[in-house]
Structure 1
Amino acid sequence: MNDSTPLLGFTVGITASRRAEEFATLLTRRGASVVHAPAIRIIPLADDTELERVTREIVADPPKIVVATTGIGFRGWVEAADGWGLAEKLGEALSQARLLARGPKAKGAIRAADLKEEWSPAGESSAEVLDHLLAEGVEGVRIAVQLHGATTEWEPVADFCEVLRCAGADVIPVPVYRWVPPDDQSAMDKLIELAATRGLDAITFTSAPAVASMLDRARETGMLDPLIHALRQRVVVTCVGPVTAAPFVELEVPTTMPSRFRLGALARHLADELPRRASRIRAAGHDLGIRGGCVVVDGEVKQLAPASMSLLRALGARPGRVVSREQLLAVLPGGGDDTHAVETAVARLRSSLGAAKVVQTVVKRGYRLAVDPVDCGDEE
């Protein structure tokens, strides 16, 4: 492992549907293994009858305020309106409104449509936009809010609209780039299983709809509780920004994010964050880094069989301390009650590591990683 490949040995899940290949390249260049499972499928805007209905409503009765939350959504809305022969009328309606842009991409899309935003928050968050509106008062004000996708319980913009309604606003949700789950969810099912079974070191999200879609799928397949447990305990959840992270905040799942809400910044943030959080064990003169799907021994990635990986995780959870044969048997795939299976699995683990002395036999007690006692404290 070196400074150019800080993610060597780490396995990162990508849920993005757009620019996923570009993001994967940024991670693999830094040494990561990538598992891609697109969480959402975008419905072409020109085919979205609900968006056309809302657009005609806005043309007929323009709102006083329009909140643009994403650049791609606002641009797509204008393009779809052009396809319906409504572009000029929509432009006239929007020009009469006060336009608020959540971030620079939304601002750029507004200007590309020959319109001008009135205000945009410094922190690029929906919460700042909401505070701004509530501070000036919205009682009786007609407000159009561009949504991120389908409205679900995990969708933060849905809460945004509800707060405005409670404050007395007449809210028009604008469902640009409506999303639905992928037709084939097998890749997402695999990603959820990997996260729940320690096969991932990190999972990344670039939109709130992707978070909502994954959580919905986990619940449908009975995997929501183990998934949430894994995300709270060991899988690093990395989001592009606070809007994307909002559903996890509600679930008390810790998240991390870059200071700038961009793909490049997200990749650099992961390259800094994962090595910092990873445990490093010095055993029998070797440096070990136990990852989600492999182990790094003296800077070299070693791919282990599931049984060997399970044993190493159990030993690594208590570095230098004895783990009994019975405890190790319990973590072996298939289990059973023959402790001789542990001896066979340990032999294979030693062979796979290429460093036999890393795993030490403690006669009549079990096994341990051969960690210097100074590093691990008194043995229990």
Structure 2
Amino acid sequence: MTFDSVSNSSSRPLRVCSFESRKQDEMRSLIERHGGVPTIAASMREVPLENNVAVFEFLDRLQSNDLDAVIFMTGVGARALLEVVETKIDRATFFDALQRCCLVVRGPKPTAVLREWSVRIDHRASEPNTWRELLSVIDSGLSFPKPASKSNGPADQPLTGRAIAIQEYGLPSADLYSALTARGASLLPVPVYRWELPTDTAPLEAAIRACVAGEFDVLLFTSAQQIRNVLEIAERLNLRESFLAATQRYRIGSIGPTCSEALREAGLQINLEPSHPHMGHLVRETLASH
């Protein structure tokens, strides 16, 4: 989806800055393959939650048949959840317990993980796989395997008496939680990771300074947390306002609506969202439209 146009007045290769962390090599290769000159400045670090009480509570309730549905938000988070679970029980027991619930996935990555586990998937959100598509699936009616438990909540709400666990990854989805609570659900957030700044922020600092100096043509963002961390470092450098002003000169590609929403909230203007929320589409379509 193209929002406006930013032209490249010269025939030189486009200078592209990406804030990708987990798939830096893949992003660099994609940019080079499509004729760009890449700068990859990692903006995030995944930190496992130690002594994850929330996962153990989730596991206890799952084994006690006290959950009606489990929502898997990300593939990486699903794998991380399994790693913690396996410190308590074997995976076969975990998978059997999951299948006594209604299982919902947000997009293709958690879908792939659950298929790898040979675990049944009951519902899947459509692209672009934001909380809105997930809520639409839920509003269409979930295939719960058992009747709702008694609840003091309003009887006319579709999720009253339903206990729903949500595998979190990074920041919780406050909008989704609010919507589900309004529909009567009892929620159990299950955080697996939290996002922190990279241990070495020097490359990110250098990229921010280069952005302010006008050394790029294109900026690429693949998650909402990236812009939050970028602006935190820019603030430390006393360059937040200069960075935001500089971004107005660049073409900005965003992986999808959730990321775009965070960018707009931060004051950036989005030029392009790809036809599919994948890195390959993001790079190809953003560079091709410049």
Query: Within 5 Å, which residues of 2 pair with 1:180-329?
Result: 180-231=196-247, 233-255=248-270, 256-274=272-290
- Whether the 8 Å CA contact 2:58–2:165 is kept in 1: the answer is no
1:59 aligns with 2:62: yes
State the Cα deviation string for residues 249-308 of structure 1 (Å, max 9, x = none).
Answer: 33453322211222222221122122xxxxxxxxxxxxxxxxxxxxxxxxxxxxxxxxxx
| Deviation of the 1:223 alpha carbon | 3.1
| Deviation of the 1:128 alpha carbon | 0.9
Contiguous gaps of at least 5 residues in structure 1 = 1-5, 152-156, 275-380
**Given the superposition, is the C-alpha separation of residues 20 and 88 from structure 1 closer, same or farther in structure 2, using an over 3 Å criterion?**
same
| Deviation of the 1:13 alpha carbon | 1.3
1:70 aligns with 2:85: no
| Deviation of the 1:149 alpha carbon | 0.7
| Deviation of the 1:24 alpha carbon | 0.3
2:194 to 149, 172, 178: 178
State the Cα deviation string for residues 329-362 of structure 1 (Å, max 9, x = none).
Answer: xxxxxxxxxxxxxxxxxxxxxxxxxxxxxxxxxx
- Whether the 8 Å CA contact 2:54–2:189 is kept in 1: the answer is no
CA RMSD of aligned residues (A): 2.7
AA of the residue aligned to 2:132:
A
**Given the superposition, is the C-alpha separation of residues 238 and 7 from structure 1 closer, same or farther in structure 2, using an over 3 Å criterion?**
farther
Task: Work out the CA distance in 2 between the residues paired with 1:7 and 1:24.
Answer: 21
Task: Work out the CA distance in 2 between the residues paired with 1:159 and 1:219.
Answer: 27
Q: TM-score if structure 2 supplies the norm length?
A: 0.79
AA of the residue aligned to 2:213:
T
Partner of 1:147: 168
State the Cα deviation string for residues 167-189 of structure 1 (Å, max 9, x = none).
Answer: 43222222233322111222222
State the Cα deviation string for residues 145-183 of structure 1 (Å, max 9, x = none).
Answer: 2223145xxxxx233223323443222222233322111
Task: Work out the CA distance in 1 between the residues paired with 2:237 and 2:181.
Answer: 34
- Whether the 8 Å CA contact 2:168–2:189 is kept in 1: the answer is yes
Partner of 2:96: 92
Contiguous gaps of at least 5 residues in structure 2 = 1-9, 142-157
- Compare relative contact order (CA 8 Å, sep 6+) and give the higher one, 1 or 2: 2
**Given the superposition, is the C-alpha separation of residues 249 and 63 from structure 1 closer, same or farther in structure 2, using an over 3 Å criterion?**
farther
- Whether the 8 Å CA contact 2:211–2:243 is kept in 1: the answer is yes
AA of the residue aligned to 1:101:
V
- Whether the 8 Å CA contact 1:13–1:34 is kept in 2: the answer is yes
- Whether the 8 Å CA contact 2:55–2:191 is kept in 1: the answer is no
Task: Work out the CA distance in 1 between the residues paired with 2:194 and 2:133.
Answer: 24
**Given the superposition, is the C-alpha separation of residues 77 and 30 from structure 1 closer, same or farther in structure 2, using an over 3 Å criterion?**
same
| Deviation of the 1:102 alpha carbon | 1.3
AA of the residue aligned to 1:14:
S
State the Cα deviation string for residues 299-332 of structure 1 (Å, max 9, x = none).
Answer: xxxxxxxxxxxxxxxxxxxxxxxxxxxxxxxxxx
Query: What secondary structure does 1:13 align onto?
Result: strand
Task: Work out the CA distance in 2 between the residues paired with 1:44 and 1:162.
Answer: 26
Query: What secondary structure does 1:257 align onto?
Result: coil
AA of the residue aligned to 2:131:
S
- Whether the 8 Å CA contact 1:8–1:30 is kept in 2: the answer is no
Query: What secondary structure does 2:70 align onto?
Result: strand
Task: Work out the CA distance in 2 between the residues paired with 1:72 and 1:119.
Answer: 19
- Whether the 8 Å CA contact 1:138–1:168 is kept in 2: the answer is yes
AA of the residue aligned to 1:67:
I
Q: TM-score if structure 1 supplies the norm length?
A: 0.61
Task: Work out the CA distance in 2 between the residues paired with 1:211 and 1:139.
Answer: 36
Report percent identity of matched pairs. 25
Partner of 1:315: none
Task: Work out the CA distance in 1 between the residues paired with 2:174 and 2:264.
Answer: 15
AA of the residue aligned to 2:13:
G
**Given the superposition, is the C-alpha separation of residues 117 and 50 from structure 1 closer, same or farther in structure 2, using an over 3 Å criterion?**
same
- Whether the 8 Å CA contact 2:44–2:195 is kept in 1: the answer is yes
